[in-house]
Structure 1
Amino acid sequence: MKCFLLLLGLWLPTALRAQVLPLLPLQIAEQFVAPTGWADMKAYLCCEVATQARKQTLGQQIPPQLQRVSQLLLQGAGTAVVAVELRDSLSRNDFYLHFRKEASRWKLEAVRSLAMTQLGAPMLQLLTTLPPADIADYNLKHPDADHAFTVGNLRLWAAPDADIAAHFERNRADFEQVLRLVQAGPYFKGAPGRLAPTDEAAVNENPTVHALLRKLFLGQVSRRETGCSSCVEFIIGGKQRSTVGLLYEPNAAALPSMSPVRIIMLKPLGQGWYLYKTT
């Protein structure tokens, strides 16, 4: 009995300390999107989120039947990002929680998502219900981005992260081919980050590159969207600089930083490829 009490005395302080340790970003995210309330919520919020979530967590404002899946994308010395997917049998939606560290405690500072994707549904409804004669007329008026491409591009722009990643995996060979063409050309041979508009036009007007971009439902190749001086960006689309696309950068140290005011999400797809979103 004395040995048991001694062991209990040694274990109990450690257990009590473990219970009061501040939560990590992934734990905060899971609490914040859970359908139940959270008594300690205000202790883990700051900045804009502290004024937006005064009485209820985000999870309490979301339909309770939705599944919530949280994924840690980054946890550095002072910042962290957690992606949250909401899904049911009919739909998937993604948003991103940004954290900062204040006095050794992680706090949720901002919640972000790709803006204006709600515009995609009515546009798709209009395009997908056009009769054949109107589709033929549309193609005559838009030879550079015909009906099939526009529908595919709109669907990809508004798609959840999981569907964009699946599209990339299905077509990885074509993505790799267009990357090789871009890298082999004269377009990105100048100083990093100093691609002239005429050079960008040239790479997108290359017939083989252009054909592959249209096949993959990509809007354009760029080197300007993410502020990364060495990344090759394959932009799907977006509105008012809230864009989504894929980028290639094999050196992880050269990747752009995530933040609530610029790159809201950067997800690895393997072998130097990433899915990104900006705001």
Structure 2
Amino acid sequence: MKHVFLVLLLWLPWPASALEPLEPLQIAEQFVAPGGWPAMKEYLCCEAAGQAKRETLGQQIPARLQRACQLVQQSLSTAVVAVELRDSIDRKDFYLHFGKEAGSWKLLAIRNLAMTHLGPPMVEILAGMKPAEVADYDLKHPDASHAFTLGNLKLWTSADADIAAHFTSNRPDFQKLLRLVQAGKYFASAQSLSPSAGEQAANADPAVHDLLRKLFLAQVTRRETECTSCLEFVIGGKVSSTVGLLYQPTKALLPAMHPDRLIVLKPLGDGWYLYKTV
């Protein structure tokens, strides 16, 4: 009787196999690939599930674009993967935020730096100015010259790789700027000045101001990432969607990435990070 029962079990249909567990980087690579992904919905949740109802991100973007995924951070319950899209002309960056649902990784949200489309038209206007127009512009904007504004706008709308290259090629000046701000103790917790007054004093320091302008940075602050122990060297942005360089040598004190605030924090080495907010 036991043998008959075993034979019957072998002939009965088995239940469908469980969902294959994928890591965030694997999900990201499938989600941005040019072809479709039949199992896509099983790996999406929340906001991302509402945005990608029929097609993956990879299907929605031009097929000619090359796609590269980089795991930026992964903990027990959250992860962030950076995605670079590029062709021979342009590069763009997106950030995929993941969380765990019933023990499985799910894509929760897709983020990128907002309103960068406003930059290229402004760059075109500034780059097309004649020498006399540039001189007139500099007279009207003594605190932000034509050269600074043009360089700042280009950097603000640059790809992450280009911002990282700008940092690397100017690392000595970034380190000098950091030392000046630290030596001034403008953001020291024991300082009698209010945080806003300390920030104003730092940006008004002639030596700090000159280096900020040389590096195409708008200001130094502590308000963009809500990290009271970090120094943020802001490149630019619109409203609360900003990009810049953050310094915090102690990893335990770094702010946590989140799709509703700090959308990416990429290490550049020696306590420096590229950050973006939304």
TM-score, normalised via structure 2 length: 0.92
The CA deviation at 1:77 is: 1.1
Task: Map 1:12-161 onto structure 2 (within 5 A).
Answer: 21-161=20-160
| Residue type of the alignment partner of 1:201 | Q
Q: 1:59 to 1:145 in 2, by over 3 A?
A: same
| Cα separation, 2, equivalents of 1:92 and 1:186 | 38
| Structure 1 stretches of at least 4 aligned residues deviating more than 4 Å after TM superposition | none
What amino acid sits opposite 1:26 in the alignment?
Answer: L
Amino acid at match of 2:35: T
Residue 226 (structure 1) aligns with: 225
Matched to 2:187, the amino acid is F
* Deviation (angstroms), 1:79: 0.6
Give the share of equivalent positions with the same residue, in percent: 65
> Counterpart in 2 of 1:268?
267
- Pairwise CA distance, 1:156: 0.3
One-letter amino acid of the structure 2 residue matched with residue 22 of structure 1: P
- Per-residue displacement from partner, 1:163-201 (whole Å, max 9, x unpaired)? 000000000000000000000113122259x95211111
Q: How far 1:110 sits from its partner (Å)?
A: 0.3
CA deviation vs aligned residue, 1:101-160 (integer Å, no higher than 9, x gap): 000100001000000000001001111111111110100000000000000000000000
Partner of 1:277: 276
In 2, distance between residues paired with 1:92 and 1:195?
A: 40
Q: What secondary structure sits across from 1:140 in the alignment?
A: helix
1:252 aligns with 2:278: no
CA 1:225–1:111: 2 relative to 1, 3 Å: same
| Letter of the 1:146 counterpart | S
Amino acid in structure 2 at the alignment position of 1:229? T
Number of the residue aligned with 2:214: 215
1:224 Cα deviation (Å)?
A: 1.1
Alpha-carbon distance in 1 for matches of 2:241, 2:129: 28
What CA deviation, in whole Å up to 9, does each residue of 1:206-228 have, x standing for no partner? 00000000000000000111111
Matches within 5 A, 1:176-195: 176-191=175-190
Q: Secondary structure at the match of 1:101?
A: strand
CA contact (8 A) 1:81 1:96 kept: yes
Distance 2:207 2:258 in 1: 35
In structure 2, the partner of 1:11 is none
User: Secondary structure of the residue that 2:85 maps to in structure 1?
Assistant: strand
Cα deviations by residue, 1:57-102 (Å, 9 ceiling, x for unpaired): 0000111111000000111111100000001111110000000100
| Partners of 1:48 and 1:186 in 2: CA distance | 42
**In the alignment, is the contact (CA less than 8 A) between 1:243 and 1:277 conserved in 2?**
yes
What RMSD in Å do the two structures reach over aligned CA positions?
Answer: 1.4
CA positional deviation for 1:20: 5.5
Give the Cα–Cα distance (whole angstroms) in 1 for the partners of residues 194 and 40 of structure 2: 46
Distance in structure 2 (CA, Å) of the matches to 1:164 and 1:125: 20
| Preserved CA contact (<8 Å) 1:188 1:195 | no
What amino acid maps onto 1:240 in structure 2? V
Partner of 2:263, secondary structure, is strand
Distance 2:66 2:188 in 1: 46
- Say whether the 8 Å CA contact 2:123–2:150 is kept in structure 1: yes
Name the CA distance, whole Å, in 2 between partners of 1:226 and 1:62: 30
Are the counterparts in 2 of residues 96 and 264 from structure 1 also a CA contact under 8 Å? yes
Task: Supply the AA of the counterpart residue of 2:237.
Answer: G
Distance in 2 separating the partners of 1:235 and 1:156: 11
In structure 2, what residue type is equivalent to 1:142?
H
Show CA shifts across 1:252-273 (max 9, x none): 0100000100000000000000
Corresponding residue SS for 1:230: coil
The aligned length equals: 261
